[in-house]
Each structure stands twice: as C-alpha cells, then as structure tokens.
C-alpha cells in the first residue's frame, strides 16, 4: 500500500514513517525541513522537499499523492507560545497549508485523510476529563488553527467525498522529541537544561497537569485511523493516555535542580477521555511515562 506522510521528517511523523515501512508499505514524505530533521528520514521512503503552504506547489503535491491510499497530515508549526508571538506565520503554515494539502489529497483521489489535531482546541476547562463533545475554546492562534483543520476535514468529507478523521493529540513525548528550539516540549526542554548543567525552569507553581501520551501509541492510533471502518466522516477522536501528571512530577522523574519563573497563559489541566478511540479505532495506550523515562535518561546520558 502507498501512503503519504506530510511532516514525515518530524518527531511524530518520522516515527509513523518507520512503522509504515516496517509493515512493508511504500511511503512518500512531504516536508520542508523547517522543523523536521533530515537525520530522521527513513532511507526507504521517497522524499518531496517543499513548502505545503505555497499554492504553486499544488501540482507537485497532487502528483506525488496519486495512487496513495491515505495521507497522514502531521505537518504544522507547533506549540502555543510561539503561535502567540508569531500569529501570522503560524496562520499561513497551519491554516493555508492544511487546506492546500486537503485539496491536493481530494484531487489526487486519495481514499482517506488522517489529520493530526490538538487538545489545545479545548482551551482551559474546569471539567475533566475532556470529551470530544465539549465546547471548543482555544486560548491561542495555534489551538484555533488546529481546530479549523478539524472543521475543514468535516467539510471536505461532505463536499469532496474524501474520507477524513481527526486525532486530537495530548502532549506527545518519546523518541526523537526535540531537546531545544521553539518546538521543544517540556520533557525535551528539561532534558536539554539538565544536560547543559542548568536547572529546569518551571512556569508558575508547576502544579499544572498534562496528559502525557507516548509517540508509539500515537503512531498506532494513526495506523488504526487509516484502516478503521468506523470512521471517515470527519470524526474527532481524543488520543491521550487517560491520566495526567503535574510538571513538578515530571521534574521529579528526571531529577535535578529547578527554578520557578513567571507563568504564561495555558490550561491548568488536560486529561483525555479516550473511550471514543477505544470504541471507533480499537485503540488504547500501552506506555506510561514513569516506565519510559528511566530508559530515556540512560539513552541521552542523564
């Protein structure tokens, strides 16, 4: 089977590419390497290097998608705080880019489009766990842009006859996560600081809680979303562990000194209700962060 992974040089995308190739599929990667790394590329995958948000690239993208069963849309400028600082840059990439890829997939007659959405669409809710039917209330341009992608997936399923499904990820961690730069997440940031002999910087009091989800489990969710007969009409599905940890707890697991700095605008807590993923995809998480971190520390030399 042929698959196209948009953002296949990135953290989650490259792990997905490896799984698809392990299962003896043909894979084409589309990536502009603005955040993805060439060192992440699987040598058995074909690569089309271009910017998905530039409309003149449309024909090239359609041609590479022809004959593909599924397009996995993982490319995006990620994280909340950088999107607040650069909303126009994020809008062009995340909104126009997603729309362009959707239209290309539709015109290439791809059967299914699996979209990487985000739990940031929920915003700051006092009710936990977060269920897909809850009110959407993004607190950042990034959250709003990822939600717009969900809306467009539903529109394309109903108007352009392409099967779509949207996976709302909750705080993904795992192999190949960034250790530095604007797109690093908390575990990577802490690891980088500790490797540099610096204390971990914690925003606010550190009691904000997150549902940490292992990248291998996210990859499995994508594979199941491409094959499940229960989806295809723009369904939105939480992909989260169904438990959460405070930032202080993550710092405790990694070990080392810490300093507390000014808080930023962010949800106090995230926690996924993943029952819909179990029902529609037959998916459930296999990894817990306490079991993963000791091996990670050893691998990176902490």
Domain boundaries, the chain: 2-172+214-242+272-281, 174-210+244-270+288-300
165 forms beta bridges with 114, 235
CATH of domain 2-172+214-242+272-281: 3.40.50.720
In this chain, the answer to whether the domains covering 2-172+214-242+272-281 and 174-210+244-270+288-300 adopt an identical fold is: no
- Mean pLDDT in each 10-residue stretch from start to end of the chain (302 residues)? 97 98 98 93 96 86 97 85 79 89 97 96 95 94 93 97 97 91 78 96 96 98 98 98 97 96 90 98 98 96 92
Q: Which residues pair with 201 in a beta bridge?
A: 259
In tens, the pLDDT along 172-223 reads 999 999 887 555 689 999 999 999 999 999 999 999 999 999 999 999 999 9
Q: Which residues are catalytic?
A: 142
Give the pLDDT confidence score for residue 183 in this predicted structure: 53
Residue 223 backbone class (left: φ over 0; alpha: ψ -120 to 50; beta: rest): alpha
pTM: 0.95
Q: Which residue has the tokens 């989800």?
A: 213
Considering the domain delimited by 174-210+244-270+288-300, tell me its CATH architecture: Alpha-Beta Complex (3.90)
């Amino acid at each position: 089977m042929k698959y196209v992974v948009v953002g296949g040089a990135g953290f989650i995308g490259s792990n997905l590419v490896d799984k698809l190739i392990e299962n003896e599929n043909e894979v084409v990667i589309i990536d502009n390497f603005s955040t993805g790394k060439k060192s992440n590329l699987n040598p058995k995958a074909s690569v089309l290097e271009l910017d998905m948000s530039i409309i003149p690239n449309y024909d090239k993208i359609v041609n590479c998608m022809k004959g593909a069963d599924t397009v996995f849309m993982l490319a995006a400028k990620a994280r909340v705080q950088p999107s607040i600082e650069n909303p126009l840059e994020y809008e062009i990439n995340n909104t126009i880019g997603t729309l362009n890829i959707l239209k290309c997939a539709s015109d290439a007659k791809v059967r299914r489009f699996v979209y990487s959405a985000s739990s940031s669409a929920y915003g700051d809710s006092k009710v936990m766990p977060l269920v897909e039917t809850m009110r959407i209330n993004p607190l950042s341009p990034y959250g709003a842009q990822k939600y717009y992608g969900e809306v467009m997936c539903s529109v394309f399923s109903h108007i352009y006859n392409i099967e779509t499904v949207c996976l709302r990820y909750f705080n993904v961690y795992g192999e190949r996560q960034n250790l530095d730069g604007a797109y690093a997440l908390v575990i990577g940031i802490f690891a980088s600081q500790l490797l540099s002999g610096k204390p971990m910087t914690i925003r606010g009091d550190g009691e904000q809680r997150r549902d940490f989800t292992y990248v291998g489990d996210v990859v499995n969710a994508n594979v199941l979303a491409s094959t499940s007969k229960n989806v295809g009409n723009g369904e939105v599905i939480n992909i989260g562990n169904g438990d959460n940890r405070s930032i202080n707890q993550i710092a405790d697991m990694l070990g080392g000194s810490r300093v507390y700095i000014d808080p930023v605008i962010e949800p106090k807590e995230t926690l996924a209700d993943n029952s819909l993923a179990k029902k529609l995809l037959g998916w459930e998480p296999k990894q817990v962060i306490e079991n993963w971190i000791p091996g990670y520390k050893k691998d990176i030399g902490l």
